[in-house]
Amino acid sequence: MPLWFKRLPLTLRFPVAVALMIFIVAVTTTQVAIQTSSRQFEQQMGQIGQVYLDGLAAALIPALARSDPDAMTAILERSLTVREGIEDLRLAVLDAEGAIVARADRTTSDDPARDPSSTAVEDFAEFIHSLPGIRFDHESRSVWVWRPLPWVEGVPDGAALEPPTAVASRGEGSIVANLDVAAFIEERQALQVKLLAFDLLFSGVCAAVGFLIVRQMQRPIALLTQHLQLGEQRQPQPVAEELVPRQDPQIADLLAAYNRMVRESRQREAMIGRVMEQERDAILGRMAATLAHEIRNPLGGMSTAIRTVRKFGDDPAARADALDFIERGIAALQEVTDATLQTHRTTEERRNLRQQDLRDVGVLAQAEASGRDVTVDLDLQVPPEVPVPAAEIRQVLLNLMLNAIRASPAGGLVTLRARLEPTILRLDVEDGGRGLPPDLASGLETGVPPPGNAGLGVAVIVRLVERLQGRVSVTGRSEGGTHISLHVPLGATAAIEPELAGDVGPA
């Protein structure tokens, strides 16, 4: 298939192919018709030549009966004077051995190629045989025809003669005629040129009409293709009702099915957005309760330190210890506050992931883990900055970490590991819980969340991972628990989706 054809849009290939096929078939059939006509012309010229020889043979029989070459020559020369219809250029009578008995040549031709002196009967003697035959001389635009002629002996003038076939056993010769068919050839060539021009014009018109018809038939498919291609750049749009061809039920059903798919996709997007808002509100509520607990502890210690200062302010050692305790409490509060703001700030400028982002996730997860007597361990072997989107990574990890903490028993351990490989950032979350249900694990790995409310949290993670162009693998640990591995390609850019920005929900 030519390269230029492959570069054509898909909606143009079929119409172009149909147009080319129509053009080629029309031209080919016309050429076949021209060739057939040429063969028929040659057969007709042969038949006309044989009819001409029939009349000439009848005139020659008396002279043949007397074996009078002069009389034969005179008859041949008189025949040349008649120029109605086909013009004869050369006439000859040959004996059984092919020797010329009588001949007559027209000497008035103005065309050197058709001058009798340029092509003699002898030049064609090798082609002449006892059977009727025909041979075209394309150089002189003439045709040679011949047929057997019986020798008639002892037949007096005026006597009844036997048919040639009845006396053929007495010895045969041949009568040869060279007939001018230039006018017929010129007319045939002119007709072929006109026919070819008409054929090219007609084939071109048919090809153009075929192209337009197929193009018109493919217009709904082109419209559907355009909508599908635009769906890669923005949210899919339904086909306008006025563009649906109601007179074509099959195309109308196809476009209606596409519109239903778009509507259902929008409904699903809206539902996921609402669910994610609910998940975010729920997790923020849980986080608020946990943070209140985490903040209350430092505040209680700071309050005790202030009372110590008031009571033992004169003691430098006691005063220094109390101030140090207050400073550590303020630092702890600042750390928890900063991590929370960084994670849930919806207007945060999109930036690369920093190692501190992973530590912030650990701080927020530790707030949940403290109330469940679960230990959070961070193993971060990554540079200070990694070229992947920070906000999406933080949201995914926080979801996974909170799920792992809730699934872990009291006294359990949840580990977050980060490794930078040549082309990906690998993030692993391990817990010692009861394991992830198979349908949820399959949803994370395949990117297709399970139906029902149980899979809504997984849908949040799946959407975020899809935006990161990453993949998730879930395996069970031999000692119990779940190992979730997230692979994110370096340099990945997350598409901006307002309904997902800043949303966090547990799986």
Quick check: is 53 in a domain?
yes
Same-domain status, 144 and 275: no
Q: What is the pLDDT of residue 491?
A: 79
Same-domain status, 319 and 427: yes
Q: Which among 439, 464, 465, 441 is positioned nearest to 452, based on CA atoms?
A: 439
Quick check: is 427 in a domain?
yes
| CATH number reported for the structural domain that contains residue 114 in this entry | 3.30.450.20
Q: Would residue 243 be called left, alpha or beta, if left means φ above 0 and alpha means ψ between -120 and 50 degrees?
A: alpha
Alpha-carbon distances of 230 from 91, 225, 227, 237, 494, rounded to whole Å = 82, 9, 5, 8, 18
Question: Which residues in the chain land under pLDDT 70?
Answer: 1-11, 83-85, 107-131, 150-172, 229, 231-234, 283-284, 286-287, 289-294, 296-298, 300-301, 332, 335-336, 338-350, 451-457, 478, 492-507
Q: What is the pLDDT of residue 383?
A: 92
Which value, to the nearest 10 degrees, does the dihedral of the CA atoms of residues 355, 361, 364, 367 take?
-90
Whole-structure pTM value: 0.39
Q: Which among 356, 287, 265, 288 is positioned nearest to 506, based on CA atoms?
A: 287
Same-domain status, 423 and 276: yes
Q: What is the pLDDT of residue 313?
A: 78
Element (H, E) at 430: strand 424-431
Q: What is the 3-state secondary structure (H, E, C) of 343-395?
A: HHCCCCCCCEEEHHHHHHHHHHHHHHHHCCCCEEEEEEECCCEEEEEHHHHHH
Question: Cβ distance 137 to 144 under 8 Å?
Answer: yes
At residue 125, the 3 state secondary structure works out as: helix
Quick check: is 499 in a domain?
no
Q: What is the pLDDT of residue 164?
A: 40
Counting the structural domains of the chain, the total is 2
Per the structure block, which two tokens stand in for 249?
């039920």
Quick check: is 219 in a domain?
no
Burial 391-410 (b: 16+ CB within 10 A, else e): bbbbbbbbbbbbbbbbbbee
Quick check: is 199 in a domain?
no
Q: What is the pLDDT of residue 192?
A: 79
Same-domain status, 182 and 270: no
Same-domain status, 97 and 181: yes
For tokens 């993030």, what's the residue? Answer: 427
Same-domain status, 278 and 181: no
Same-domain status, 288 and 393: yes
Quick check: is 222 in a domain?
no
| CATH number reported for the structural domain that contains residue 348 in this entry | 3.30.565.10
Same-domain status, 44 and 142: yes
Q: Tell me how many helices (H) and strands (E) the chain has.
A: 10, 12
Quick check: is 174 in a domain?
yes
Same-domain status, 283 and 174: no
Q: What is the pLDDT of residue 488?
A: 92
Same-domain status, 329 and 421: yes
Domain extent for 307: 262-489
Quick check: is 276 in a domain?
yes
Strand partners, 425: 420, 488
Q: What is the pLDDT of residue 155?
A: 47
Same-domain status, 334 and 481: yes
Same-domain status, 382 and 272: yes
